[in-house]
Amino acid sequence: MLLLGYWLPGGAHAVTSPDIGREQRLASEIQDAILEGDVTYLTGDAGHRFLAIQTPAVAQPAKGTVVLLHGRGLHPDWANVMHPLRVGLSERGWDTLAIQLPVLDKSALYYDYVAIFDGAIPRIEAALGLARQSPSGPVVLLAHSCGAHMAHHWMARGGPAALSRFDAYIGIGMGATDAGQPMREPFVFEQMHMPILDLYGANDYSAVRRMAKARRAGMARGGNPKNAQVVVPDADHNFVDRGPALLDVVANWLDTL
């Protein structure tokens, strides 16, 4: 797919649309390899169909549904973070729905992705709409890395109507960008009055660790007593080889809802 755009200072190439061709290649690569869960397609912007993976709770009725948003340029069954959570949470009693977010070329940077954040909005809303069809438990929005940027972009644009569509939020590795590219859009924690879990690795990117105090202050202004900020020891931004520890923190916090 041809991407139209222009060059920006700092090495970013501002594109005007997601790379649908790469998204389709990712889908074809993973959909036949899914052993746990069911591949489905949801409809987003302009009728575009995007891949999603539904994994029902092993024990029914489910405690609730967790909608998972992956990191930059990845897919909903990514070996780190996404797969351990979408499968592990189903074993811990939660239905999960992991969706494909818009992607760009592998070389794209944070500022490139900012230009396509709008493309995530109809996908997040379609996923939450499907999750709301479940008769049991809360709907939780979980977002990792660039997925968190996209989630907060949607919340900022949608305001109270967007915030009313889910019952709790989990952000993992929030604040990751690239060198020389500070965040363009702030997080909206002060508007979020539902329970929030802010989770990151002890060896996470410096920006994620540096912003922890500000995120905690924003959550405090949101005011929910179940808010928590947890640092996972010996974990990097992608929780390589730390999937079980990540799962334990998320599942244990979910059980407090």
Mean pLDDT per 10-residue segment, the chain (257 residues): 41 71 96 95 92 97 98 98 98 98 96 97 98 94 99 98 99 97 97 99 98 98 98 99 99 98
- The reported pTM is 0.94
pLDDT value of position 135: 86
Q: What is the pLDDT of residue 46?
A: 83
- Integer Cα distance of 127 and 54 in angstroms: 10
- Residue 45: its pLDDT value, please? 83
Which residues, listed in sequence order, are joined to residue 228 by a DSSP beta bridge?
A: 197
95 contact partners, CB below 8 Å, separation of at least 6:
54, 55, 56, 57, 62, 64, 65, 66, 131, 134
Which domains does the chain carry? 5-254 (3.40.50.1820)
Using the CB atoms, write b or e for 103-141: b if 16+ within 10 Å. bbeeebbbbbbbbbbebbbbbbbbbbebbeebeebbbbb
Cis peptide before 61 (omega within 30 of 0): yes
